[in-house]
Amino acid sequence: MPADELKVREKYPQYFGLSTSKGLELYVCAFAPGSYSCALFPGTDREKTFSELMKAKLTGVPEMRVILRSYDIPQEEIFVIPFQHVLSSYLMQHENINQSDLRAMFFAEDWDPQTLRVTWDIAKLKEKYPEYFGLPTGKGLEVYVTQYDPYSYLCVLMEGTNRNKTDEEIMELRQISFTEMREIIASYGIPSSDVFVMPFIDPRSTYEYTVDAEYSAKLQELFFPYAGNASDKAARD
């Protein structure tokens, strides 16, 4: 057993050996910008109660990564759930964080414990999503973003044109995480003003939300300044 796991087991024994028949539920809260704490529960068919969440002993992200590593179940069976801790005056929505970012903190191999961010390897992204590299940028790039729950966004990328893309064109492309798309766009080194972020309500999604000017502005705010031209990326880092 790795030394780091032995240390975490001693401090948080209650989080090892949980039943995984219905997966695991990982609740995450924030007490300050970039400061996350979490608690782990066996999966159930109900939301955890206020009392259960308040009684839980919170861990940091590095410790929880070690705990999750001890479970031999698919990542898809671990449900990451943000919540507002009653003792925190910091509102988590201020983080502009989404489900992809949350999951990356616990599962991405290139996660940096110092910055609490994922350092994406562009070469690996090119290998994984070759269709999103080398697109013509003469008319900019178009990102179509679909929201699937309050914290989950998936995207596709297309070259800019002088016409609206059809639903069929958008849906035939492979959707990728919000976080990965930001890095792919950053690799193009074009101004953020040449990247058009467009909400797209996928008819296959059951999540209901309204697309209006306010929503579009929110989406643009979420996307930038995390992606854009080289200077934007440098500022982010």
pLDDT at 114: 53
Last residue of a domain, one of 52, 81, 114: 114
Identify which of 43, 39, 41 has the alpha carbon closest to the alpha carbon of residue 21.
43
Residues 177, 213 within the same domain? yes
Q: Which residues pair with 155 in a beta bridge?
A: 145, 176
For 43-88, write each residue's pLDDT tens digit: 998 889 989 999 999 998 889 999 999 999 999 899 999 888 887 7
For 175-189, write each residue's pLDDT tens digit: 887 778 888 998 999
Residues 148, 64 within the same domain? no
- Which residues constitute the domain of residue 215? 122-236
Residues 131, 26 within the same domain? no
Last residue of a domain, one of 49, 80, 114: 114
Residues 79, 163 within the same domain? no
Residues 33, 76 within the same domain? yes
Residues 13, 32 within the same domain? yes
pLDDT at 127: 92
pTM of the model: 0.56
Residues 128, 62 within the same domain? no
Kindly tell me if the per-residue pLDDT of 130 is higher than 90. yes
Cα dihedral 159, 163, 168, 173, rounded to 10, equals: 10
